[in-house]
Chain A
């Protein structure tokens, strides 16, 4: 077992495709199933999942790409820090190309700024240790899968007595915007394919309010193609039966209670806060900020910066795309002014953005 290729068997996929068609046979409407994870977005395109589904099932992507939902002001602030002498910006790769109001980290790097791409926040801590005369600022962007790793980096930096490691945070939580989107009358979501690895940390029980109070079925689904098809089948069955329960397809990893040690690490360093989402606006208690006890590592509190007034790009429909209301082809900039080489909006930058996935795999 490698716990990956076994879940890509085309023969087994045929069985699941037949089963999905049987679940919805006789269902007169069209059900809208939303995923809220960039890795699901990619998997749907990569494996051509949409082409395998009957016309009664419509799959849409929600605000599941962390880079895409990060407001432009955050990018501007990172750029302002990058321009300060003696500063190293450490970040996951996706953020580097995201356009700010008038520049990007890539452009600043070309102009001499120190911008380093890291695989792990712990690599950023190591960078701070190796460069004691410099300030290392890690760009903390991500959902509940990633935030505990950032918490782990802050605890590690504290234990090592580092004074030059900082985090500029835009951490977000996923169940809160799901509830907001569920209440949007324009967007009738019939079921959620819940994210695999966010749920690894927070646990499947985190979606119970969605199922119980909003009456929307939820299935925690893995990222491999067979997982995706099985998750869709389970969700379709609930929708047809008019049920709303939380089920776990990805049971080899996800538990109802999640990873409590990871949750404890996250809660040690972070606390809930209101935060803005690109395209959606401020959602109360949907973000995570660094607690007072760890304020010494918070770039926002410790390091002043002159940030330009944020300007959204004209004509870009990222905001509507993130809510699942518009598909990339309906944006006037898509494939014209906005391409992966010259992205206008964040959804085209991140490899898991809906526009980038549509550009690469769509026809």
Chain B
């Protein structure tokens, strides 16, 4: 039930954003977020944007996965 989908903000009208992923467009209320701009990625749950995605942290996490992989290739 707590499923949420990362989507890109395509347009903003007052307190509602039109968000997109893979050609799917969906309205999202911005009642729970401040300072959202077009181009931001947000997490959508039940018609509401519940958080902005932090692009730097997203990349950092992927880097950690790669470091773990590299460490695993080394003998113990």
Contacts and interface: CB of A to CB of B under 8 A. Distances in A.
Interface of A: 1-4, 6-7, 9, 11-12, 14-16, 18-19, 22, 37-39, 65-67, 92, 94, 119-123, 141-143, 145-146, 148-149, 152, 155, 195-198, 200-201, 223, 226-227, 230, 233, 249, 251-254, 259, 261-262, 265, 350, 352
Given A120-B46, A148-B32, A259 B69 contact: no
Interface string B34-71: 10000001010111101101110111111011101111
Given A230-B65, A259-B51, A18 B72 contact: yes
B58 A1 contact: yes
B1 to A, nearest CB: 5
Contact of B72 (A15, A92, A143, A261): A15
B51 A120 contact: no
B3 A39 contact: yes
A145 B45 contact: yes
A344 to B, nearest CB: 21
B61 A252 contact: yes
Q: By DSSP majority rule, is chain B's interface helix, strand, loop, or mixed?
A: mixed
A197 B45 contact: yes
Given A14-B69, A149-B50, A253-B54, 12 more contacts: A1-B41, A2-B21, A4-B6, A19-B68, A19-B72, A121-B46, A141-B1, A145-B2, A197-B4, A200-B50, A252-B57, A261-B32
A66 B3 CA distance: 12
B48 A120 contact: yes
B58 A252 contact: yes
Most buried by A among B1, B3, B46: B1
Contact of B32 (A11, A16, A262): A262
A9 B65 CA distance: 10
Interface in B5-54: 5-6, 21, 29, 31-34, 41, 43, 45-48, 50-51, 53-54
